[in-house]
Chain A
Amino acid sequence: MCTRHVSRNLAAYIDGGLPPVNARQTEFHLEQCGSCRGECDQVRRGMAMVEHLSVIEAPEAIWFSIEAALQDNQQREIRMAGWWRWALAATVVLALAGGALWRLAQPAGARWEVVRLDGSPSVAAKPIGGKGQVGAGEWIETDARSRAVVKVGEIGSVEVAPNTFVGVVAARPGEHRLALVRGEIRAKITAPPRLFFVNTASGTAVDLGCEYTLHTSEDGFGTLQVTKGWVAFEWKGLESLVPAGASCQTRPKLGPGIPYFDDAPESVRRALEAFSLGNNRSEALSTILSESRVRDTLTLWHLLSRVEGGDRGRVFDRIAALTPVPAGVSREQVLELDPETLKRWKEELAWTW
């Protein structure tokens, strides 16, 4: 029975903000009610889109008018009747909203060419013929039979795979930023590092001079696979550096996983998965350490900053057993996670990757 619909609770439910009992009730209702499930999908997509919007400063003129209005408000406060206050507040709100709309309506950078490869991809909800254009604030959507390629300014291209929903957040010379809500993109970038970014629900892929495939679901589960160069996957201070030939899993609210080479032993990959999910971490770590090859020091180096105390020492010892510790890198500095030492060691280890 689909009584007592849960529309009002959906945003809090998706955001994990409902008390457990209410969350279970909502979940149960969603299992029964197709209408609410559809609504839930819409809300989830809307929230994902909002998360990808860039922060835009209001124009200076708006702040002058607000300050002027506030000063004016203070001078007249005594004389003003109660309803006047509300009118002023409404004016300020309208001015702000108008300013924001005005700013959003301004072209935030260049427009990029979109070329249809298959089917009928759409830009801003309108199907494109052979070619179209996309700018900041607009979205590209492909269905199961559609593909498209986007020319990212002068720095490269992005192929949009079927069943993908991706938007342009910024299209400026110093910042080329996409938001991948769901689906898959393949990026080929020929620019200096940190000019091309892709936001996802579980972090941001930062180009360090690379070619890669990024897949994500709307809830943030995904995979980053790098074929050339480096990609940094960043989320709330956590960073995974993924070089060519390696991949990294992404998870909602956990950010980027620990990268591994695609040819890593199956046992290492399975143990890494268990470790990342928190399943019997100690045993998983032991397997990773004992089964790692020289090349898997990529994984071990990332583990250093994601384990505690004694385990960090175990990881250090395993790397040191696989390949000589270079001059300028000491056990003490590594155990303290000294950034310069870790960077120096990573750069040396990279010669074995």
Chain B
Amino acid sequence: MLRLAMVVSVVAATVLAEGFTFTIGNPVASQDFRAKGAAFVFRTEGCADPAKSQISATAEGLLKGERKSLTLQVMAMPKPGIYAVFLGWPAEGDWIVNLKGTCAEAKAGALVPIGPKGFIREASKFFHRPATDAEIETSLKALRQRGKK
């Protein structure tokens, strides 16, 4: 019986962890005027208590050939689980935003490339864990390639 309970709890935790992720959108999606100047907004999905989730973001970029990493302010919107990311990186260079989140035991990550017209939805990547360094470098490389086209 104990073994069954453990199996169930492990499966449940795995399912929950698999379900925790981010959805990104234009600032209007937040339905809050304070986000109108944001680069983009995002929300947590699959988190039973979004108010208790831990969220952070960094801007990862290449500026004049030099690799940079900047901590970004993430503004929580009044509706739980919705956040806004404001421009916190130089206009020059190639930049992606690296989102990290924790909800209880579950983790989520996302890489959101920033183009000249704003965030690039179709090139964004979502994970059920934080993005690895290799994934960040690959995304940055892809963004640079995209910019050269």
- Using a CB–CB distance below 8 Å, which chain A residues touch chain B? 191-193, 208-211, 228-230, 243-245, 347, 350-353
**Number of A-B pairs whose CB atoms are under 8 Å?**
44
For the complex, what is the distance from the CA of A350 to the CA of B27, rounded to whole Å? 9
Partner of A229, one of B25, B36, B43: B36
Contact across chains for A351 and B29 when beta carbons are under 8 A apart: yes
Q: A243-B26, A244-B26, A245-B26 are in contact. Are A350 and B31 (CB under 8 A)?
A: yes
Partner of B26, one of A192, A193, A208, A353: A353
Cβ–Cβ < 8 Å partners of B93 in chain A: none
For the complex, what is the distance from the CA of A347 to the CA of B82, rounded to whole Å? 13
Does B70 count as interface, using CB distance less than 8 angstroms? no
Chain B, interface size category, equals 10 to 19
For the complex, what is the distance from the CA of A229 to the CA of B33, rounded to whole Å? 7
Q: How far is the CB of B116 from chain A (nearest CB, A)?
A: 14
Q: How far is the CB of B88 from chain A (nearest CB, A)?
A: 18
For the complex, what is the distance from the CA of A191 to the CA of B34, rounded to whole Å? 9
For the complex, what is the distance from the CA of A353 to the CA of B28, rounded to whole Å? 8
Cβ–Cβ < 8 Å partners of A209 in chain B: 32-34, 36
Cβ–Cβ < 8 Å partners of A193 in chain B: 33
Q: How far is the CB of A19 from chain B (nearest CB, A)?
A: 48
Partner of A350, one of B25, B33, B36, B37: B25
Q: Which A residue sits closest to B31, measured CB to CB?
A: A347
For the complex, what is the distance from the CA of A193 to the CA of B35, rounded to whole Å? 12
Cβ–Cβ < 8 Å partners of A350 in chain B: 25-26, 28-29, 31
Q: How far is the CB of A175 from chain B (nearest CB, A)?
A: 17
Cβ–Cβ < 8 Å partners of B34 in chain A: 209
Q: How far is the CB of B141 from chain A (nearest CB, A)?
A: 26
Contact across chains for B23 and A228 when beta carbons are under 8 A apart: no
Q: How far is the CB of B39 from chain A (nearest CB, A)?
A: 12
Cβ–Cβ < 8 Å partners of B26 in chain A: 243-245, 350, 353
**Proximity bits, B1-44, A CB within 8 Å = 1, else 0:** 00000000000000000000001011111011110110000010
- Pick 25 A–B contacts, CB within 8 A, sort by A: A191-B33, A209-B32, A209-B33, A210-B33, A211-B36, A228-B36, A228-B37, A229-B27, A229-B33, A229-B36, A230-B28, A230-B36, A243-B26, A243-B28, A244-B26, A244-B27, A244-B36, A245-B26, A347-B29, A350-B25, A350-B28, A350-B31, A351-B23, A353-B28, A353-B29
Contact across chains for A351 and B36 when beta carbons are under 8 A apart: no
Partner of B36, one of A210, A347, A352: A210
Cβ–Cβ < 8 Å partners of A229 in chain B: 27-28, 33, 36
Choose among B23, B28, B31, B33 the residue with the greatest number of A CB atoms under 10 Å from its CB. B28
- Pairs of residues from A and B, 3 with the lowest C-beta to C-beta distance, nearest first: A209-B33, A229-B36, A243-B28
For the complex, what is the distance from the CA of A211 to the CA of B27, rounded to whole Å? 13
For the complex, what is the distance from the CA of A191 to the CA of B29, rounded to whole Å? 18
Cβ–Cβ < 8 Å partners of B23 in chain A: 351
For the complex, what is the distance from the CA of A245 to the CA of B119, rounded to whole Å? 13
Partner of A351, one of B32, B33, B43: B43
Contact across chains for B25 and A352 when beta carbons are under 8 A apart: yes
For the complex, what is the distance from the CA of A353 to the CA of B30, rounded to whole Å? 11
Q: Which A residue sits closest to B24, measured CB to CB?
A: A351
Q: A192-B33, A209-B33, A244-B36 are in contact. Are A228 and B27 (CB under 8 A)?
A: yes
Taking A228-B37, A230-B36 as given, write out 17 further A-B residue pairs in contact, using a Cβ cutoff of 8 Å, ordered by the A residue number: A191-B33, A193-B33, A208-B33, A209-B32, A209-B33, A210-B33, A210-B36, A228-B36, A229-B33, A229-B36, A230-B33, A243-B28, A347-B29, A350-B28, A350-B31, A351-B23, A351-B29
Cβ–Cβ < 8 Å partners of A210 in chain B: 33, 36
For the complex, what is the distance from the CA of A352 to the CA of B41, rounded to whole Å? 12
For the complex, what is the distance from the CA of A228 to the CA of B29, rounded to whole Å? 12
For the complex, what is the distance from the CA of A230 to the CA of B30, rounded to whole Å? 11
For the complex, what is the distance from the CA of A106 to the CA of B29, rounded to whole Å? 42
For the complex, what is the distance from the CA of A208 to the CA of B28, rounded to whole Å? 10
Cβ–Cβ < 8 Å partners of A245 in chain B: 26
Cβ–Cβ < 8 Å partners of A244 in chain B: 26-28, 36
For the complex, what is the distance from the CA of A244 to the CA of B29, rounded to whole Å? 10
For the complex, what is the distance from the CA of A244 to the CA of B31, rounded to whole Å? 12
Q: How far is the CB of A285 from chain B (nearest CB, A)?
A: 25
Cβ–Cβ < 8 Å partners of B33 in chain A: 191-193, 208-210, 229-230
Q: Which B residue sits closest to A246, measured CB to CB?
A: B28
Contact across chains for B25 and A351 when beta carbons are under 8 A apart: yes
Q: Which chain B residues (34-63) contact chain A, with CB distance < 8 Å?
A: 34, 36-37, 43
Cβ–Cβ < 8 Å partners of A192 in chain B: 33
